[in-house]
Amino acid sequence: MKRVEIAETGSWSYPLTPEQGWRLAESGLVSATPSRAAGLWNLTAAGKVGVARVGDIELWITPKLPIERLLFLVGYALDPSGWRDEAVALDARRGLVPAVGQALWRQSERALQRGLLQGYRSVEESSYVLRGRLREADQLRRRYGQVIPMEIRHDDFTVDVAENQILLAATTRMLTVPRLDDESRRRLAALRPRLADVTTLVRGTTLPAWRPTRLNRRYLTALRLAEIVWRATSPEHAPGAIVANGFLFNLNKIFEDFVTVAVSESLHARFGGCAYPQYEAHLDRGELVGIKPDLVWKAGHRIAAVLDAKYKQQQPNDDYYQMLAYCTALDLPRGHLVYAKGAAQPARHVIRHSGVEIVCHALDLTREPSEVLADVARVVDDLAGSARVA
């Protein structure tokens, strides 16, 4: 297995065979092109970080963000009220995969210290003994008047509940990730027998729904981490069919989700109205050209503001053209772009002849979570304040 390691930013040259190079190019995880030097390929990250096996190559893409900050963005987007990065206890020195693996088994063991969570689950089955209620319609349709077996529905007190299924699913997925450290592999493998009576989720299914309650409070941090592991190891994060057993984060999607969730939460709490992520509208009167801004805010029944998030530091002209189209279609005097650029004052650009103002905000993601959220609050102040003036 050949190991190839590159950073999220910059371009890197590696000696690869033509087959290896083209496999990397087709995976969509990196941009791969033959170099002028014989046998070398130029590799550039394509917006994803993590690790994946591509054929006989083990590909590592290291993030420029601190690992704990990356996990904060992912966790906050999943649940802004329930995520606390200080409770996860990541050992960032180990790298992305070992850090998450260590945190997963530690939090899972802590959750299971007092035994497996149990709960009632509705079960429908055929039985020769009446338990619960008879499903009369199913009995008539399936048994044609026979008395037994009976089609029944009853509540079963079991460990096979959503919370345990999620922990088992994440544990199983994490064990397939390349370069998981030996301690994490041993600890995670030891968790699986404890969850032996829990249903194993097949690949391609979604996680079962759950909600925080008094009963599952000890599971909360472990469940948040489990959801992160599930998303990072899902097939949609590795577009090429030849990519297997990957642990990958799509940085563009993570930043977009974080900004839309954080801005929406702040808008609702402080200014009311209603925020709509991925708002679908049309650019033309014939409704043939669709647009989908990352966030639209409605105050009352009118659209008051539009925002788009961009995980990049530079501000290409295409972003301005896109935002101008949004403002024109939504009949707004200004639009807001949010970049992962570092600390900077908002830049304002007034478009000639139209008078539309495009405001560019910057978030420094390397700062502490409370400081990042304070920067988001300043974006919301500008967005809501300018919307009231309009």
Distance between CA atoms of residues 164 and 223, nearest Å: 9
Preceding amide of 193 cis, omega within 30: no
Q: What is the dihedral of CA 326, 237, 171, 67, to 10 degrees?
A: -70
Q: Are 71 and 14 in contact (CB under 8 A)?
A: no
| Model pLDDT for residues 239-254, shown as the tens digit of each residue | 445 555 689 999 999 9
pLDDT exceeds 60 at position 237? no
pLDDT at res. 345: 81
pLDDT at res. 315: 74
Distance between CA atoms of residues 85 and 65, nearest Å: 15
pLDDT at res. 85: 57
Average pLDDT over residues 122-146: 80
pLDDT exceeds 50 at position 66? yes
| Model pLDDT for residues 292-351, shown as the tens digit of each residue | 999 999 988 899 999 999 998 777 899 999 999 999 999 999 999 999 987 678 899 999
pLDDT at res. 93: 65
pLDDT at res. 390: 45
Range of lowest pLDDT (68-77, 80-89, 350-359, 371-380) = 80-89
pLDDT at res. 238: 45
| Model pLDDT for residues 143-187, shown as the tens digit of each residue | 777 878 888 787 777 898 999 999 999 999 999 998 889 999 999
Q: What is the dihedral of CA 337, 342, 345, 349, to 10 degrees?
A: -40
DSSP letter at 74 equals H
| Model pLDDT for residues 25-51, shown as the tens digit of each residue | 988 889 999 998 888 999 999 989 999
Q: How confident is the model at residue 90 (pLDDT cuts 50, 70, 90)?
A: low
Cite the residue boundaries of each domain of the chain with CATH code 3.40.1350.10.
Answer: 253-389
Task: Pull the structure tokens for residue 250.
Answer: 């799509």
pLDDT at res. 381: 95
What percent helix, strand, coil does the chain show, rounded to 5? 40, 25, 35
pLDDT at res. 342: 72
pLDDT at res. 222: 92
Express as a percent the part of the chain with pLDDT over 90: 56
pLDDT at res. 346: 87
Best CATH choice for the domain 253-389 from the list 3.60.15.10, 3.40.1350.10, 3.40.640.10, 3.30.590.10 = 3.40.1350.10
Per-chain mean pLDDT for the chain:
88
Residue 272: phi and psi, rounded to 5, are 75, -150
Nearest to 60 by CA among 178, 219, 214: 178
Distance between CA atoms of residues 290 and 292, nearest Å: 7
Average pLDDT over residues 212-229: 91
